[in-house]
Amino acid sequence: MLSNPTGRFTGRVESYRHYRPGYPSAITDLLRRECSLGSDSVIADVAAGTGLLTELFLAAGFSVTAVEPNDEMRAACANLEPQYPKLTVVPGTAESTGLPSQSVDLITVAQAMHWFDLSHTRAEFARILKPGGWCAVLYNNRRLGGDAFHDGYERLLLEFGIDYSAVKQQHVGRRRLAEFFSPSPMTCATLPNDQPLTLEVLEGRILSASYMPQPGHPRFDEMRDAIQQLFAETEAGGAVIMHHDCLICYGQLN
């Protein structure tokens, strides 16, 4: 595993909160249907970050405990508390959530499973789930190529990413997720989730990634010039479209 997964996002909170893609609202209906969620179900959103997925469930009326180890990310998520009285934000990691045993009906993890020790995480998730509880792992999987914009975006990450290749290799795909749920079966669904990007949003999206240079880095200005060139070459009507497949894999752990 890469070192210091918690600290990697310090200083990137505003970019993450404003410029990362959200998640399709159909996720709540899918998990209601497939995971027997009711109005009184309790959800733990682990590695909740700034609350992009957390807020989706809160808006649908669920009680959510957001577990987040990074202080800046957790503070941003806590800003949702005045709007959503059913939100609780706590410090904790996937391997040690600090939540009571058998206390939640559904655990969600969005865009973060690759940062976890999966063996310890599975044991912790099994501990905090109620009997018959469920776990859902979500990834907004970006299209890696196929047109000028997506090809150019991937080249830009490879060129300027500090350790992008290492992070990419650590990605948790369906095979590793199935091993995580095993011996229980895993079911997957995919929802389209496109993100229109102005130049400002494209720059912010890139800066939200833990492996990309921040202001003050020796290659930051060169990277910013490359972003602007990519946008100028591929935009239409003042925006480019980043295509994602939102993968939702879910199952039980007991």
Average pLDDT estimate for 219-234: 97
Flag whether the pTM goes above 0.75: yes
The string of pLDDT tens digits covering residues 78-117 is 999 999 999 999 999 999 999 999 999 999 999 999 989 9
User: Which tokens is 175 given?
Assistant: 């095979």
pLDDT value at residue 223: 97
Q: Using CA atoms, how far apart are residues 66 and 9, in angstroms rounded to an integer?
A: 17
pLDDT value at residue 2: 55
Pairing relationship of beta strands 195-197 and 240-242 according to DSSP bridges: antiparallel
Each domain of the chain, given as residue ranges in start order, spans: 7-143+169-194+245-251
Q: Using CA atoms, how far apart are residues 246 and 252, in angstroms rounded to an integer?
A: 20
CA distances from 18 to 22, 56, 238 (A): 10, 15, 18
203 sits in which H/E element: helix 199-207
pLDDT of 160 above 90: yes
Residue type, 231: F
Average pLDDT estimate for 192-205: 97
Average pLDDT estimate for 48-73: 97
Q: Using CA atoms, how far apart are residues 57 and 117, in angstroms rounded to an integer?
A: 26
Tell me which CATH homologous superfamily contains domain 7-143+169-194+245-251.
Answer: Vaccinia Virus protein VP39 (3.40.50.150)
Query: Contact at 8 Å (CB) between 58 and 88?
Result: no
